[in-house]
Amino acid sequence: MLAGIAARGQTPIRREISPLGRPKKHFGQHFLHDRAVVDRIIAAIAPRASDSLVEIGPGEGVLTLPLLRAAGRLTAIELDRDLIEPLRKRATGLGTLELVQADVLTVNLAKLAPRNTKLRVVGNLPYYISSPILFHCLRHADVIEDMHFMLQHEVVARMAAEPGGKDYGRLSVMLQLACSVEPLLQVPPGAFRPPPKVESAVVRLRPLAGSVMPEASRTALDEVVRAAFGQRRKTLANALQGVLDVDAIRACDIDPRLRAERLAPADFVRLAEAASIRRRE
């Protein structure tokens, strides 16, 4: 369960730093400014001096500065060029801050990882593009130790959902095959400037040791999961037409009359392996 910070409208708002200007709607900017929430997030991350920290979307630096104080070094990826120099000035004397002005979806995270060191990734992600960023990070999971993200509450619920529930879907399957998913705390709209229209939540993701997805089956896995959840009311026999036939589904010890939300993530791996073999044949 997500631990609530406080009832809506009752969270005390204390800015750690003054604003750097008006948030830009086209960047999906909602700047966190509740000190109590910031403290809980930093405590959950527990930064260490040896960490290789990467922050996605540092914004006004409300997480950047305490992370930098604790670790001494941090790389921040920020799309809004107007925030770069003010943030650089605010970080003066706190440690080594490397600022990368770029869309994170274009950044090869593996190149940010020092040799024999894994990254710890942090971010208050723009909600309109959070899923693409999550999948981008998963493509670099082999160089990531853990991830702590602020996301829309309903997205975190989907990430952590178990089979059989309405929140369980493609995002649940793909993330749970690659990571452990741990919701940490719920954050009310008033903790941000401007307040978003939705509740937010912080989640911790830890890449699993050893991929449960065979390399040759990754493309097939994406195809199977997309097709299976494309029309949730359809049975697997109907949803996977053109990908796997009924006999192939049964050969995976899966009932083709089931709907996708009844399957565990491991079931999709078996279907993907069958689809991959069929493709090679």
CATH (domain of 108) = 3.40.50.150
Strand positions, DSSP E, 2-160:
3-4, 31-32, 52-56, 73-78, 96-101, 119-124, 144-152
Q: Which of 70, 66, 74, 83 is nearest to 20 (CA)?
A: 83
Judge if 203 and 234 occupy the same domain. no
Residue 135 token pair: 């999948």
pLDDT in the model for residue 159: 96
User: Shortest CA distance to 8 belongs to which of 277, 191, 235?
Assistant: 191
User: Residues 55, 59, 64, 66: is their CA dihedral positive or negative?
Assistant: negative
* Rounded Cα gap, residues 221 and 98, in angstroms: 36
**Burial group, residue 91, by CB count within 10 angstroms (0-12, 13-18, 19+):** buried
Domain hosting 224: range is 215-280
Is 237 found in the same domain as 198? no
- pTM confidence score: 0.85
236 plus 133 within the same structural domain:
no
- Judgement on whether residues 242 and 201 belong to the same structural domain of the protein: no
Residues 203 and 228 reside in one and the same domain: no
Residues 6 or more apart in contact with residue 25 via CB below 8 angstroms? none
Among 159, 189, 207, give the residue marking a domain's end: 207
Residue 166 and residue 236 in one domain: no
Residues 279, 258, 241, 281, Cα dihedral to 10°: 20
In this structure, the answer to whether residues 234 and 158 fall within a common structural domain is: no
Question: In angstroms, what CA-CA distances link 203 with 14, 186, 214, 245?
Answer: 23, 9, 26, 37
CB neighbours of residue 234 within 10 Å: 16
Please list, in sequence order, all residues whose beta carbon lies within 8 angstroms of the beta carbon of residue 73, skipping any fewer than 6 positions away.
52, 53, 95, 96, 97, 98
Total structural domains within the chain:
2
CB 30 within 8 A of CB 189: no
Same domain, 13 and 98: yes
> Of the candidates 207, 235, 265, which is a domain's last residue?
207
Q: What is the pLDDT of residue 197?
A: 84
Identify the CATH number of the domain in which residue 249 sits.
1.10.8.100
Same domain, 172 and 114: yes
Same domain, 138 and 255: no
Domain boundary among 207, 234, 250: 207
pLDDT in tens, the chain (281 residues): 344 333 333 333 344 455 555 544 444 456 788 899 999 999 999 999 989 999 999 988 899 999 999 999 999 999 888 889 989 999 999 999 999 999 999 999 999 998 888 999 999 988 888 999 999 999 899 999 999 999 999 999 999 999 998 999 999 999 999 999 999 999 999 888 778 788 999 999 999 986 555 555 788 999 999 999 998 889 999 999 989 999 999 999 999 999 999 999 999 999 999 998 877 76
